[in-house]
């Protein structure tokens, strides 16, 4: 039997000022013999997670539609007016290629202008990093990127940014949620748009962004020498199809081949199961083209262009997909090496990563005597560190294991566009030294340790799934394990409780990190497992990291296999 509060909520929507199509969909849900969809659509309101507002598209309070977008935007508008009293407020908006993205972006713009807020609206879809840069370039107080990033085609949503160009962090994220919660019905939204307050960002803005990207190059002469290096790129039907080739060209690369089956923006993502460059299947067409033309590098971005992936030729001339930790290590190592070579390391630089990203980034930074910050998951936390150090220290680079990276600070979110250009430069630089990328990784691992990571992502859908995930996390806290796969746990870090438990002597200490629903298990052999419910998807994720010494280049594959076996054994504990 359906909870009466859910039926009441559905009927309140039915009796509000919504369109007839949505009313019919609600009637169908109310009359359906199976109430699962009705419950999932109305049992709660959509919440802001680490990536903002995100969910399945459809009718209802727990779905993405013009009404939930409008209600969230009204809350955002109210918060902006309270935060900048008496000021002229402006906000930048763009979107990627997802289904309904133009509709949702226009809805966002309409509600904002109805509330007297100026909107700088990209005339054409553009990647997330360009939205972040536009906020800073035009001096906006906020920004909205309409996207569901790499989620399946059924999802949509938007990410909210603040005046620094980074995604909203505390207290703004929590305060926006409070304002959204005050919007009790669709009729509380001001829908009376004012087109006079809407100004378009035209194509010439691309050049402003690309000029900043070009400055990131550490070795332009190398790129010139390798300008004919063959590169395949795929935007996977997303918003980066124009900008990544342009970024590669301003870096000096000319031999670029875009995957024709995936170049057109299409929210149905017809050639892939998931539009996520982390998924090898999403790169099948790219690798097929690479084999046909004997390309040296394959690059791809997710639909909103903030994540990237790289496929390189290994020592057997086979195409090998690098994971986000590997490309992150390559970027950090290359940049710090070049900074050192050019005499630019002054002790005033820093790098940043997250607590579920490989510890190798911190080890490399330490090796160059560069301060390194470890922050909570979510790129907004990296942006917060950049903001806190603005004008004091120079941010070199930072990123996450989930294929998100940022070089330089003119953007304040993941930037797959500039990351692709940097990876191409790294490839060219080491090619000039007769080294392939696996050789470079081996060089890094011999010096700092061979780190290997893996992720288990378990989906639990709907209301029941959300409760199961909470029960799992509760179990880890109330019945802390002593070992995993026979390996003793030396330390447990509970980020939610701000506690560090030393399992060897039973002592506790305080963790100086913002609270988040994460538990980390540190094992005696140096392995680390982090358990974390996703903030944007109905998933619980387990991040596994193992490491050991790499004695020489010849031992690379044997050591890799040993680490893989260790990961597989640890996985069995959680699957």
First-last CA distance in the chain:
32
Contacts of 408 (CB under 8 A, 6+ apart): 212, 215, 216, 395, 396, 397, 418
CB 158 within 8 A of CB 69: yes
527 by DSSP, 3-state: which?
A: coil
Q: Whole-angstrom Cα distance, residue 543 to residue 560? A: 17
Buried b (16+ CB within 10 A) or exposed e, 315-353: eeeebbbbbbbbbbbbbbbbbbebbeeeeebeeebbbbb
Q: Whole-angstrom Cα distance, residue 114 to residue 133? A: 25
Q: Whole-angstrom Cα distance, residue 169 to residue 153? A: 27
Nearest Cα residue to 37 out of 48, 46, 26, 45 = 26
**In DSSP terms, which residues pair with 58 in a beta bridge?**
none
Q: Whole-angstrom Cα distance, residue 556 to residue 320? A: 14
Q: Whole-angstrom Cα distance, residue 571 to residue 485? A: 9
Q: Whole-angstrom Cα distance, residue 190 to residue 188? A: 7
Nearest Cα residue to 300 out of 356, 338, 261, 346 = 261
Length of the chain: 575
Nearest Cα residue to 364 out of 443, 311, 309, 452 = 443
| Omega cis (within 30) before 171 | yes
Strand 52-56 and strand 48-49: pairing?
A: antiparallel
Q: Whole-angstrom Cα distance, residue 490 to residue 517? A: 20
Q: 149, 240, 454, 527: which is the annotated catalytic residue? A: 149
CB 60 within 8 A of CB 67: no
Token output for 43: 């049992």
CB 280 within 8 A of CB 300: no
* Distances in whole angstroms, Cα of residue 346 to Cα of each of 23, 228, 414, 481: 63, 35, 26, 44
What H or E segment, with its residue span, contains residue 160? strand 155-162
Q: Whole-angstrom Cα distance, residue 15 to residue 148? A: 29
Dmax over CA atoms of the chain, in Å, equals: 71
- 365 has catalytic annotation: no
Q: Whole-angstrom Cα distance, residue 274 to residue 455? A: 17
- Catalytic residue numbers read 149
């Amino acid at each position: 039997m359906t909870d009466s509060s859910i039926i009441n909520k559905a009927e309140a929507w039915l009796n509000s000022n919504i369109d007839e199509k949505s009313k019919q969909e609600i009637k169908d849900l109310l009359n359906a013999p199976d109430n699962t969809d009705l419950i999932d659509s109305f049992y709660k309101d959509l919440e802001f997670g680490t990536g903002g507002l995100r969910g399945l598209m459809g009718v209802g309070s727990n779905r993405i539609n013009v009404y939930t977008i409008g209600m969230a935007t009204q809350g955002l508008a109210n918060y902006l007016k309270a935060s900048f009293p008496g000021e002229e407020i402006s906000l930048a908006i763009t979107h990627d290629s997802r289904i309904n993205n133009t509709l949702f972006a226009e809805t966002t713009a309409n509600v904002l202008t109805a509330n007297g807020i100026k909107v700088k609206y990209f005339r054409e879809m553009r990647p997330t990093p360009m939205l972040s840069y536009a906020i800073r370039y035009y001096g906006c107080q906020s920004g909205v990127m309409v996207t569901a990033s790499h989620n399946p085609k059924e999802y949509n949503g938007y990410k909210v940014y603040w005046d620094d160009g980074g995604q909203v962090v505390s207290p703004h994220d929590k305060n926006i949620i409070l304002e959204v919660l005050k919007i009790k019905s669709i009729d509380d939204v001001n829908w009376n748009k004012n087109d006079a307050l809407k100004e378009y960002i035209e194509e010439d803005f691309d050049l402003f962004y690309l000029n900043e990207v070009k400055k990131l190059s550490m070795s332009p002469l190398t790129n010139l020498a390798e300008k004919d290096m063959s590169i395949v790129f795929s935007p996977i039907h997303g918003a980066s199809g124009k900008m990544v080739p342009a970024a590669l060209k301003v870096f000096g690369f000319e031999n670029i081949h875009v995957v024709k089956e995936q170049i057109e923006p299409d929210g149905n993502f017809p050639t892939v199961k998931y539009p996520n460059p982390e998924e090898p299947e999403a790169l099948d067409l790219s690798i097929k083209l690479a084999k046909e033309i004997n390309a040296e590098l394959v690059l791809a971005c997710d639909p909103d262009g903030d994540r990237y992936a790289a496929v390189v030729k290994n020592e057997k001339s086979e195409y090998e997909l690098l994971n986000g930790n590997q490309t992150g290590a390559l970027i950090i190592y290359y940049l710090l090496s070049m900074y050192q070579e050019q005499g630019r390391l002054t002790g005033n630089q820093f790098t940043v990563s997250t607590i579920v990203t490989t510890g190798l980034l911190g080890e490399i930074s330490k090796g160059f005597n560069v301060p390194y910050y470890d922050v909570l998951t979510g790129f907004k936390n990296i942006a917060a560190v950049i903001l806190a150090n603005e004008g004091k220290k120079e941010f070199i680079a930072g990123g996450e294991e989930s294929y998100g990276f940022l070089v330089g600070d003119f953007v304040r979110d993941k930037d797959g566009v500039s990351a692709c250009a940097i990876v191409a430069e790294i490839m060219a630089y080491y090619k000039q030294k007769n080294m392939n990328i696996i050789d470079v990784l081996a060089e890094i691992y011999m010096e700092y340790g061979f780190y290997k990571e893996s992720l288990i992502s378990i989906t639990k859908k709907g209301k029941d799934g959300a409760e199961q995930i909470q029960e799992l996390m509760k179990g880890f806290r109330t019945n802390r394990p002593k070992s995993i796969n026979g390996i003793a746990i030396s330390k447990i870090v509970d980020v939610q409780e701000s506690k560090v438990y030393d399992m060897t002597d039973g002592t506790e200490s305080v963790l100086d990190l913002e609270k988040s629903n994460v538990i980390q298990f540190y094992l005696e052999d140096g392995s680390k497992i982090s358990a974390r419910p996703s903030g944007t998807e109905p998933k619980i994720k387990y991040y596994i990291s193992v490491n050991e010494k790499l004695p020489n280049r010849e031992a690379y594959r044997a050591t890799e296999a040993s680490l893989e076996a260790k990961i597989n054994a640890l996985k069995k504990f959680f699957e």
